[in-house]
Structure 1
Amino acid sequence: MTATNPAVSTTTPAIKPTTAPAGRPRNPLKRFWPQYVSVAPFYILFLVFGLFPLVFSIYLSFTNWDGMGKRTFVGLAQYRYLITDARFWNAVGNTFIIWFMSTIPMLFFALIIAFLLHQNIRFKGFYRVAYFIPNVTSMVAMAIVFGSVFSNSFGLINSALQAIGAAQIPWLSSPWGIKFTIAMMVIWRWTGYNAILYLAGLQAIPTELYESARVDGAGTWSIFGRITVPMLRPVILFTVITSTIGGLSLFTEPQVLLGNSGGPGEAGMTIVLYQYNQAFTQFDFGYGSAIAWALFIIAAIFAIINWRLVSERDTDGNTKRRIRRRREVAR
């Protein structure tokens, strides 16, 4: 019988766990508080200057308030008066006419400019900057320039007409002259901006589509109509919707050019300018809020209509089949 050394233990010692048992997860607020603090200013500013005025304007549209006295709840009275207000409907008509006169030519010229800038031309960077400058130009300075160009007595256009023996046009005193002048201001300011957006969309189109089209003998304008426009459909949809919303909320151009009156006969009175006059000139904040929400409904309806008209609805798949066939040929 062999004796066992009591100093040598025959039992396996217990292995201590190297990691502590998983406990309850830490509080995310304590764990990520630096991130929450860093983004808190945005949400505070949004709540104070974004969400609160939005909700408060809904409440004001059901009240009668001059900004100082007691607010009186009137229910739907502001909206009932809105439906019968001839000045409001005149502003709606002016807004739609100016929007139609400015948006369609603006987007058309922007698409043509972007297509030309996408070609191999010299000084391409200079042209891109030059077309974008009107968008960042001061509106006051631009209104002074357009006022000098379209002035009834001493405008550059009327001076040129007088020099060739033609009759002068009352640009800033006739209803259609006022609308045309405002539309020209919108076109001049936003055409370059939309052209840059279209140019970004053109640069995302695969070059093999153009190469295969040229191999097939397609000309420049055929390529533009059959490849460029269909492939730019998402960008066109974006510019149409944003231009529609911007056109219906037109304010700066008529206000700076014509003042709060909207010109003779209120020919330049837009919806937002009329809402501004009611709220901040007449101090009828309840009715001004009702006009603002009526504008929101109108803009939403037209945005949906534009979405339905411009969005891609490929019923027979011809466009997709043509693009797929050109890609196969390119390979």
Structure 2
Amino acid sequence: MTTSPLTTRRPVSALKRYWPQYLAISPFYILFLIFGLFPIVFSLYISLHDWDGIGTMKWVGLAQFQYLLSDPRFWNAVSNTFIIWFMSTIPMLFFALVIAVLLHQNIRFKGFYRVAYFMPNVTSMVAMALVFGSVFSDSFGIVNSALKALSLDTVPWLTSDWGIKTTIAVMVIWRFTGYNAIIFLAGLQAISSDVYDAAKMDGAGTARIFAQVTIPMLRPVILFTVITSTIGGLSLFTEPQVLLGNTGGPNESGMTIVLYQYNQAFTQFDFGYGSSIGWALFVIAALFAAINWRLVSERTGTKKWGRTK
């Protein structure tokens, strides 16, 4: 079967016809190729080499990843990251859901409250880390001063293991609660009022409606916030770096995965091992994304409210 000349010339003529449109969108792809795709591929390449960033690369194969699996400092960073994530994500999402439910009610100045709760997310994290460092200071912090006023023992927030983790978790909660509240609020506004009316006609109270109507219908939104909070928690860097420095505090109690990667690459100038840590972080994040995909793809039965005969 032969192909007509008109058919073979069609792609070329289409390219010539729509070249202004292709040219208009080309800057995005060019910038992504230079600053996105190339660094990703190059990081995988240098993870297989021993390189200080200036000298000649030395091929080491998978030796960097083998050392990674037995590196106690890396696993300490993984442990710190997950502990801080657990301490911050659960309270943060709970407070965000409560705030979203309150904002969803018929109250005055809703626009003002939405902006106020979202403001911490757009505030400079470097500046707020300095503020939190002063608030939780062991010697003259406001928190310890309040504890002294109540005749309670002070807490070494920035020099003890759990004090450091708690301080970082509080910073994360403060920054992202309003952001997640806005997402929850958008999900609440997408729920039809007919569903609530049907539930009330069946005699369901406020608590039952919230547990059996609101939460199930918000499930995709909740899963989205959980996975985005997980990715954000795994990439935690600014808070511990500004608050505690590159060392991560005493006994590296605030050393996270990204902070450890930064130290290896830009302090120890071991770019090969730093890239290996980055790819290990990618595998961990991809694992959580796969878990999220599994949860989202499962079909869940939602109770339908309606009048029973």
Structure 1 length-normalised TM: 0.87
Partner of 1:92: 78
What amino acid maps onto 1:190 in structure 2?
Answer: F
**SS of corresponding position for 2:269:** coil
CA distance in 2, matches of 1:164, 1:237: 40
CA contact (8 A) 2:126 2:238 kept: no
Q: Choose which of 124, 136, 143 in structure 2 pairs with 1:157.
A: 143
What is the distance in 1 between the residues matched to 2:289 and 2:20?
40
* Aligned mates of 1:33, 1:306 — CA distance in 2: 40
Distance 2:76 2:61 in 1: 25
Gaps of 5+ in 1: 1-21
How far apart, in 2, do the equivalents of 1:219 and 1:63 lie? Answer: 63
TM-score using structure 2 length: 0.93
* Aligned 8 A contact 1:172 1:178 in 2: yes
Structure 1: distance between partners of 2:161 and 2:295:
30
Paired AA for residue 240 in structure 1 = V
- SS of the aligned residue for 1:152 comes to coil
The one-letter amino acid of 1:203's match is Q
- 1:166-219: CA deviation from partner (whole Å, max 9, x where unpaired): 110000000000000000000100010011001001111010111121222222
Aligned to 1:263: 249
**Identical pairs, percent:** 74
Cα deviation for residue 303 of structure 1 reads: 2.6
Say whether the 8 Å CA contact 1:233–1:312 is kept in structure 2.
Answer: no
| Matches of 1:251 and 1:222, distance apart in 2 | 40
Matched, 1:275 2:261: yes
Report the counterpart of residue 242 of structure 1 in structure 2: 228
Q: Return closer, same or farther for 1:112/1:226 CA change in 2, 3 Å cut-off.
A: same
What secondary structure sits across from 1:27 in the alignment? helix
**Match status 1:167 vs 2:153:** yes
Q: Does 1:33 align with 2:13?
A: no
RMSD: 1.7
Residues 41-60 of structure 1: pairs in structure 2 closer than 5 A = 41-60=27-46
The answer on whether the counterparts of 1:179 and 1:268 sit within 8 Å (CA) in structure 2 is yes
Q: Specify the structure having the higher radius of gyration (Cα).
A: 1
Which residue of structure 2 lines up, in the alignment, with residue 298 of structure 1? 284
2:128 paired with 1:138: no
* Structure 2 unaligned regions, length at least 5: 1-5
**Aligned-partner Cα distance in 1 for 2:135–2:205:** 39
Distance 1:220 1:255 in 2: 44
How far does residue 309 in structure 1 lie from its aligned partner after superposition?
4.9
Q: Quote the offset at 1:224 in angstroms.
A: 1.1
Of 188, 199, 211, the match for 2:185: 199
Alignment-derived partner of residue 5 in structure 1: none
Distance in structure 2 (CA, Å) of the matches to 1:154 and 1:65: 44
1:297 offset after TM fit, Å? Answer: 0.6
Shift of 1:292: 0.3
Aligned to 1:19: none
1:89-121 CA-to-partner distances (Å, cap 9, x unmatched) read 100000010010011111111111111111111
AA matched with 2:125: M
**CA deviation vs aligned residue, 1:25-61 (integer Å, no higher than 9, x gap):** 4612211111111111101100000000000001111
